[in-house]
Amino acid sequence: MNLTRVIARNTSIHFVGKGISLFLMLASFALIARYLGQLGFGQFTTVMAYLQVFAIFSDMGLYMIFITMLSQKTEDETQLVGNFFTFRIIASIVVLLIGMVIAYFIPQYTYVIKLGIAVTALSFLFGSLIQLFTGFFQKKLKMTYVVYAEVIGRVCLVGLIIGIIWLKLGLLSILSAVVISGFIIFLLLFMFVYKFIPVSLQFDLSLWRTILKKTWPVGLSIILTTIYFKGDTIILSLFRPFEEVGIYGAAYRILEALIMFPPIFMGLVLAPLAHAWAKKDMSRFKRIYQKSFDFFIILILPLVVGTLFLAKPLMILIAGNEFAISAGPLKVLVFATAFIFLGSLTTYTIIALEKQKIMLKFYIVAAMIALVGYLIFIPKYSYWGAAYMTIIAEFLVTAPAIFIIWRTTRILPSFQIFIKALFASLIMGVALYLFSGAHLLLLILLSIIVYFVFLYVFGGLSLKTIKEIVKA
């Protein structure tokens, strides 16, 4: 089976799984938002966003370095997994404990939020280990195991939330359900990985030094990225009422659902991309890079256009009338989503090229500008300031990354597919405008049909490509 078909098959498996998982996640979001309302959902969002910051700090880029080291096969696989497993447990516990202590001294956070942070920290410990095991199966191209675990965990979460709402147990019980769901996914993946290799705690300090040497530039860049990716919600929670955090958080949940997909694809592409660069096979490297770029463009453009037309009915359908106001920030955040899609491609490519250190200065600049912008505009303009600054920050990282890739490889992606996808998206937008009075689900179906029909007509999606994907 050729590379394209292998990647297509495993991406398809993971996409189907993520599609089911996404549906269950949106179901959980809908239940929680409708149950808690703007205030309660604002508190829920604050807890989750706060812990996500520290969880990302503890990751330090270990996920991407783990995939790279697995693909290079420079270490024994069992030893590598065991040491990464141990390293992530220790790093996550230390960083999350620091986060809990800091939260205790934040005066704006109520007792409920501080207790919620303490309870939910376990979920992010499990999440760190889940990501490690996902990387293992991505390398093995065995994503079915990840799909099973995630779907079972999400189903359990939805069931627990329904029971909590029925019993009226409140916010802390919702957060406890998130922890239980994370533990179930972790336990299942642990057992699945054990079928391939014995997972145990290992302390090879020499290997740890190698890991740290490789990961610190990526880790620092991820920490800087987190400042502008999650800093907006944290600063919003410090300066504005929790109701506004809930409004912004509801829109942000849609963004988070959308950006689940780029890392799935790039996690599968990273190994062959890094291998092609290591072997100086520029033809293969360019082909993988171009196909990845085209894939993201085909997804990004209709996503942006469709959201501009469907944001309000989408928010009402998912979160209820109380969150119709979230459509405003969602229309802004979708442009940030576009940059995040492309940023995922450039970030993973930079890692394949081992140019992480060069990107650090750009991450520092973007983080500083975003942080200053958040502190200036959020107190005055609330979630509008947060949303627009997020777009600026994402652009400030993506643009220089594209330049560094070009300077290193002398490869720039072709924009032929971009132009064709753009015209197809604009025609889709006209169709949505003309039939704006129809039901949301019919509009979504209409937009998909119109977009892909015209993309095919313009030659942006060939019959050969469709047959190859179907075969895979």
103-119 residue pLDDT tens: 999 988 989 999 999 99
Residue 34 has pLDDT above 80, yes or no: yes
Question: Rounded to an integer, what distance in angstroms lies between the CA atom of residue 107 and that of residue 103?
Answer: 9
What is the percent of the chain where pLDDT is above 70? 87
Name the CA radius of gyration of the chain, rounded: 22
Q: What is the dihedral of CA 162, 167, 171, 174, to 10 degrees?
A: -40
Q: How big is the CA angle at 214 (ends 101 and 11), to the nearest 5 degrees?
A: 90
Distance CA 301, CA 454 (A): 13
pLDDT value of position 382:
94
Q: What is the pLDDT of residue 255?
A: 83
Q: Note the pLDDT of residue 471.
A: 47
pTM exceeds cut of 0.85: no
pLDDT digits (tens, 9 = 90+) for 345-356: 888 888 888 777
Tell me what the mean pLDDT of segment 83-112 comes to: 87
Domain ranges of the chain: 3-414
| Maximum separation of any 2 CA atoms in the chain, in Å | 64
| Per-residue pLDDT tens digits for 187-218 | 999 888 888 888 777 776 777 677 777 666 66
On the CB side of 95, CA atoms within 13 Å amount to: 21
Q: What is the DSSP string of 273-312?
A: HHHHHHTT-HHHHHHHHHHHHHHHHHHHHHHHHHHHHHHH
Query: Averaging pLDDT over each range in 57-66, 272-281, 377-386, which range is the top one?
Result: 377-386
DSSP 8-state assignment for residue 354: T
Report CA-CA distances (Å) from 324 to 310, 311, 338: 11, 9, 22
